[in-house]
Amino acid sequence: MHALLIDDHALFRQGLKFLLSDLDKNIRFLEADTCEAALALPRDQKIDLVLLDMNLPGLNGIDALNAVRQAYESSIVVVLSSEDTPAGIRRVIEHGASGFIPKSSTPPVFIAALRLVLAGGTYLPAHALNAPPADTPAAERRRPAIQGLSDRQVEVLLKAIQGKANKVIAKEMDLAEGTIKAHLSASFRALGVQNRTEAVFAAARLGLTELDAKQG
């Protein structure tokens, strides 16, 4: 597993590396203290996970997210930020982030969030979700949402909520873009949503992951 850490504080990057070692003992890291430095890195290896601080010197915010998503279009991009208003979180999801983890999160929450994202799910902090009651079993909530979808439709949905563009999904699955759009339309109807952003929030509420989808 290869992870790219984009943050202008070396001490914070060091802390991230320590925490991420719990996910994969053999994880390899690339680091950048600005978005520009990240974009200038060699592209000779696949990056599985990008952790992006939104408050960087130089290119930052949504502009940085857009640039990183375009440069690392097959990677999972998770935004880290100390500014975690619901409106701000929704905006980064609209621009293709695979998840949002507040910098104020505890280490156990941070690790759990990344495990969820790497399993094909979406992590968003609870205050951004208007989540359903906690006493409703997660499996019970998710079954109706994906019932009737084919395995391929669910696979397309999971790739879409990871922020991947239709053309990237089409290339990875060796399908036509029109087929991808059709699968997404069916998935959106099943979730009762109108677009990708709403699908991300719905999937996060349901706790939908690749494993759950296969078992659904």
Domain count, the chain: 2
Query: In CATH, what number is assigned to the domain containing residue 63?
Result: 3.40.50.2300
Residue 164 lies in a domain: yes
Residue 145 lies in a domain: yes
Same domain? 53 vs 124: yes
Same domain? 148 vs 119: no
Query: Which of these three, 128, 157, 185, is where a domain ends?
Result: 128
Residue 62 lies in a domain: yes
Residue 133 lies in a domain: no
Same domain? 104 vs 18: yes
DSSP secondary structure letters along 65-123: HHHHHHHTTTSEEEEEES---HHHHHHHHHTT-SEEEETT--HHHHHHHHHHHHTT---
Same domain? 147 vs 169: yes
Q: Name the average pLDDT for the chain.
A: 85
Residue 123 lies in a domain: yes
Q: Residue 213's pLDDT band (boundaries 50, 70, 90)?
A: very low
Query: Which of these three, 128, 149, 182, is where a domain ends?
Result: 128
User: Per DSSP, what are the bridge partners of residue 101?
Assistant: 80
Same domain? 6 vs 104: yes
For 95-148, how does the pLDDT look when each residue is reduced to its tens digit (9 = 90+)?
989 899 999 999 999 998 888 888 888 888 888 876 444 444 444 444 555 677
Provide the domain limits for residue 191. 138-215
Q: pTM for the full model?
A: 0.76
Task: Specify the residue for token string 């293709």.
Answer: 96
